[in-house]
Structure 1
Amino acid sequence: MNVISAVKAYVVKMTSESEPGMKILLMDKETTSVISMVYGQSEIQQKEVYLLERIDSANFPNSTGLRYLKCLVFVRPTQQNVTALCNELRNPKYGAYYIYFSNIIAKADIKILAEHDEHEVVKEVQEFYMDYLAVNPHLFSLGISSCLSSLSWNPPALQRTVQGLVSVLLSLKKCPVIRYQANSSVCKDLGTRIEEIISKESSLFAFSQTNNCLLLILDRRDDPITPLLNQWTYQAMVHELLTINNNRVSLSDINGIPKELSEVVLSVEQDAFYAKNIFMNYGEIGTNIKELMDHFQAKAKSHQKIESIADMKNFVESYPQFKKLSGNVTKHVTVVGELSAMVNKFDLLDVSEVEQEISSQNNDHHGHLQGVKKLINSERTRDSDVAKLVMLYALRYQNYNNNDLIGLVELIKRRSVPGRFLKNIVNIIEYAGSHARQSDLFNAENAVKITKRFIKGLSGVDNVYTQHKPLLNETLEDLVKGRLKEQLYPYLGNRGSGRQQDVVVFIVGGATYEESLTVHSINRNNPNFNVLLGGTTIHNSTSFLQEVDQATRNVPRKYTRYIRNIQFD
């Protein structure tokens, strides 16, 4: 199950099924993102696509007299897009239209399009199931920044999530057995809606038994720790410190950045170095960047002597690769340089060490409390990191009789931190405190687990900055071993036959790149299993806290009433 391959196969089919000749590709905002995640503009143009247009742009249509061009239409099956297509077909600008919807289109809408095709320019209408963002081969996102309101589904977000997940399943040709997190009504609601679609569209899901899979629906509220932590693998670290938005990273706020590097593309499909290093840790990245630079310098030196026509010819033939390599070197040196500067400026190694101790170590309340206080009193610690440390402490020691959460809140108030950070502390407990979690997130460990951790520590494989394992790791290990408890993750409807070794995990409330690393490791260590991870979005700590804020608006303070005298901005 490879979502990038699935999307690319549809794009190849879409651009090759029409008659040969120059084409225009007409998209909407969402489908433009879908395509750009897996193809660069130059790659699309190599498929005889002359021009890219947006159907939802105020400037469309901005061309006339292009009847010699064929128009490939790739849009979501929304009412707005159907209306725009009807208007276009009344007065067609192009000679032929090949219409591809990214998801299931209502038969009534197809009839409306047919009625407006008075010039008979529509040659084809098909459903190509690409209604999601393919991030990594085993990771997808629906690009929904906030899905809950008052801790229940926001109705448009639920509809969009159902559509996106149905599209993923159809693109992979999978008919799922559905399991969901038992204590989560939003997981059950989503699973029920998907089951209804599968039943209604049974002909679309009429795959063979070998195409069965497990769809496991989880709730972000069960693991609020993972999105709060600083990260130390390349992809996750870039997202946490610089933010990745549809494979793009803005560097425009960095002093001295040249214009051509104000925004860089980090794509596993278009950047071999990035693809190779997304799961490498901070130290390894620096070593690999040095090797990339050495390779570039060696290559540059080899082209300094051009003494013949043959030398020139060889240079010209290899120049595109040479130019691409030089661009990659500059890009990654710039990105890693900025990461390094932020790590040093804000003492992120010290911050991360305390984060990891709180989230991963055995109960050491006094040590954890002193570690948080020390960083609160440091001028180099960012307000955001101070607030996240207090959130981690609050989540871990919420039910500890002698916790000093009120004292920590008073301490950070003396720093004059913005009110939104104090509000975050309250929100995170209301959103994902112990009352909301079904799992024992901090492992009130049994003797076997404690022994395993002790032995692991002695062997020296633990890295102080990467001790934490997402809750998803334990869930997937239980699943692989056939130990995932049915009372905690019940089935919805058909249980299927046998064991499903293809697994689609979907997290309501957003996944993270640390969890993507977990899935990568599970797949590598269990070759008989193929796990795919998706989420309503891909979070860093900033976007996660924004999601928490949206989800808890208008929710009365039930579990944090004891934290008084907090003034919010």
Structure 2
Amino acid sequence: MDIVKILQTYVQKMINNTPGMKILLLDDNTTQYISLIATQSTLLSKEVFLIDKIENTSREKMKHLKCICFLRPSSKSVQLMIDELRNPCYGSYYLYFSNILTKSQIERMAEADQQETVRELQEFYGDFCAINSNFYSLNLQNYQIFGDSLSTWNNETFKRTVEGLRAVLLALKKRPMIRYEKNSALGKRLASEINYQIQQESQLFDFRRYDTPPILLILDRKNDPVSPLLNQWTYQAMVHELIGINNGRVDLSKISDIKPDLKEIVLSADQDVFFKNNMYLNFGDLGVNIKNYVNEFQNRHHNSDNIESISDMKKFVEEYPEFKRLSGNVSKHVTLVSELSRLVSQNSLLEVSELEQNLACVNNNNDLKEVQNLIKRSNITNESKIKLVLLYTIRYGRQNINEVKELVQLLLQNGISEEQTRTIEQLIKYAELNERQNEETTTSTIFDKGKNVFKGLKGVENVYTQYTSKVADIIQSLLKGKLKDQFYPYIEGSIRDRPQDIVVFIIGGATYGEARDIAKLNEEIPNVRIIIGGTSIHNTKSFISFVKNATSVL
């Protein structure tokens, strides 16, 4: 169940099915999908001499070229394809769509192909972003998920989510049993619709049956608002939290004196061995690995400069052009880790994170005082102060509403705007913190379900990584046969045997930290394959924006 390799196989089939010189024509969506799993040099080596977008209507006519089209079967892309076929720029067309086409879409394209330039038409189910081998996203961060309330879907987003999740299952060749969180109206509707789609497209879903069927587990972000709010200390998750990863790219242009070739860098486990080996390591181990790599090069070139710190490494890399030429990839990582280190120090994130972890993992009589102290400090960012109050509210808000009000006042007294403090009330509404009674996910279990899942396996790594996401604990319970049907019902039937394949989907977005926890479970537990994804990928900034957007429907 390697989601990256599956999409790469689709791309290889498209290209290998079309010998000779060719152009690759994409749309806005498939451009994002392809950019994550294939490099331009790889495509060029397969005689793809030009990549363009179907939205570009001023393309030059080149009848000597074959054209591979990989498009989403959206009404916009299909119409653009129809226009293209009526007035073709290229000699022949090989059409591949990332999801299921309707009969009328096929008929309209056939009718437009008066010059009979179409040589092939296929569906390749790659209608999602493959982030890591076990992590996917539908990339719907700019979509409003909710309809006229927090328990109803926006119709357009619902349709897009169903299509994307259906494509994931078709790509994986899985016909799963479906479970969802009982307290999520959105989850129940999505589970029902996916089940209906599987039955409607029974021929497409006619895969080999296993003794123990795979599980599709649909979760709702509202039941774990904690994971997106915590500082991260493993490499990939940390980069997204502090800088941001957008379709596999990291923008470093704001760093002073940044070299031109490092203003935008690519982070890809598939294309970058160092990143693959270090993406789930904590920040301390990562620093040691980079230092060892630099020292290894130094020894090879008999250089005696003493490298003790990250800034020494950065200086060494900048002063040795040969090192940059031979190991531009390590130069990239030294620069990135150097920037992460600067941000951690500048924003006192070690101190902030320790309190976040305490709030997430244990009840502590000193929590209120600790939060108050950090709010008063000028070297703590406004974002960190709000995060701490949000975490305090989730843990203690129901019992101590007056203390939450006091913290909001303290935020206002320390330069936080009234608009920013509204986030606290917005989160209470989004996560339904005041309504949770007699259900599996109460305000306390939002935390308790997600703490120290791996402690019995290897011990907690350090004080900054005590917390483990709730989804990892749910998966553990599922694999032990302890996930209660009462709280996680099946849409149809039920099984008691331990599943081997589990596909997790989080309505409202997943996180890199959760993907790391799932990767760790895959590594620790034999004969189990788990992949995780969601409507989007969150860091704190995007999650707070999502909550604000969600409650705007009320």
TM-score normalised according to structure 2 size: 0.91
CA shift, 1:554, in A, is 3.6
2:286 paired residue number? 285
Distance 1:331 1:161 in 2: 35
| Residue-by-residue CA offset, 1:202-255 (whole Å, 9 max, x unaligned) | 100011213941100000000000100000000000000000011001111122
Q: Which residue number in structure 2 is paired with residue 367 of structure 1?
A: 366
SS in 2 for 1:203: coil
Cα shift readout 1:395-448 (whole Å, capped 9, x = no counterpart): 1111224751111111110112133320111111111143257424534999xx
Is the Cα contact below 8 Å between 1:395 and 1:433 reproduced in 2? no
Q: Does 1:85 align with 2:81?
A: yes
Q: CA deviation at 1:324?
A: 7.0
Question: Do the aligned partners of 1:398 and 1:433 also contact (CA within 8 Å) in 2?
Answer: no
Distance 1:300 1:535, change over 3 A: farther
Inter-partner Cα distance in structure 2 for 1:348 and 1:42: 39
Match in the other structure for 1:11: 11
Measured against aligned partners, the alpha-carbon deviations of 1:169-197 in whole angstroms (never above 9, x if no partner) come to 11111111111101100001111111111
After TM superposition, the structure 1 stretch with the greater mean CA deviation from structure 2, 521-530 or 370-379, is 521-530
Separation in 1, partners of 2:447, 2:102: 52
- SS state at 1:246 partner: coil
CA 1:5–1:474: 2 relative to 1, 3 Å: same
Alignment partner of 2:228: what SS? helix
Contact 1:161/1:536 (8 A) holds in 2: yes
CA–CA distance in 1 between the matches of 2:265 and 2:351? 29
Q: What is the CA distance between 1:295 and its match in structure 2?
A: 3.5
The structure-2 alpha-carbon separation of the partners of 1:418 and 1:324, relative to structure 1 and needing over 3 Å to count, comes to farther
Query: Cα distance 1:431–1:182, how it changes in 2: closer, same or farther (>3 A)?
Result: same
Tell me the CA shift for residue 61 of structure 1: 3.6
**Structure 2 vs 1, CA of residues 402 and 508 (structure 1 numbering), >3 Å: closer, same or farther?**
closer
Displaced runs of 4 or more, over 6 A: 321-324
Single out whichever of 488-497 and 465-474 deviates more from structure 2: 488-497
* 2: CA distance, partners of 1:348 / 1:124: 55
Structure 2 residue aligned with 1:148, among 131, 139, 146?
A: 146
Mapped contact 2:223–2:446 kept (Cα < 8 A):
no
Q: Distance in 2 between matches of 1:279 and 1:240?
A: 14
- Residue among 96, 99, 102 paired with 2:98: 102
| Whole-angstrom CA distance in 1 between matches of 2:195 and 2:460 | 43
Q: Which residue of 2 aligns with 1:186?
A: 186
Q: Distance in 2 between matches of 1:103 and 1:193?
A: 16
- Report the secondary structure of 1:7's partner residue: helix
Q: What is the CA–CA distance in structure 1 between the aligned matches of 2:169 and 2:506, rounded to whole Å?
A: 15
Alignment-derived partner of residue 205 in structure 1: 205
Partner of 2:530: 531
Deviation string 1:427-471 (CA, Å, 9 cap, x unpaired) is 11111143257424534999xx9xx98x969x9745111111111
Q: Which residue of 1 aligns with 2:504?
A: 505
- The unaligned stretches of length 5 or more in structure 2 are 304-321
> Structure 2 CA distance, aligned partners of 1:298 and 1:75?
50
One-letter amino acid of the counterpart of residue 215, structure 1: L
- Distance (whole Å) between structure 2 residues aligned to residue 184 and residue 460 of structure 1: 33
1:235 aligns with 2:233: no
Count of aligned pairs: 526
How far is the alpha carbon of 1:15 from its aligned partner?
A: 0.4
**1:522 shift after superposition:** 1.3
Structure 1 vs Structure 2 CA RMSD: 2.4
Rounded to whole Å, the distance in 2 between the matches of 1:79 and 1:325 is 47
Q: Summarize the Cα distance change of 1:327–1:398 in structure 2 as closer, same or farther, 3 Å threshold.
A: same
Verify the 8 A CA contact 1:99 1:126 in the aligned structure 2: yes
- The 1:195–1:456 alpha-carbon spacing in structure 2 relative to 1, beyond 3 Å, is closer
TM-score relative to the length of structure 1: 0.88
Q: Do the aligned residues in 2 keep the contact of 1:441 with 1:471 (CA within 8 Å)?
A: no
Aligned to 1:395: 394
Residue identity opposite 1:148 in structure 2: F
Instruction: Judge conservation of contact 2:5–2:133 (CA < 8 Å) in 1.
Output: yes
Distance 1:256 1:391 in 2: 36
- 1:345 and 2:346 are equivalent in the alignment: yes
**8 Å contact 2:224–2:446 — kept in the other structure?**
no
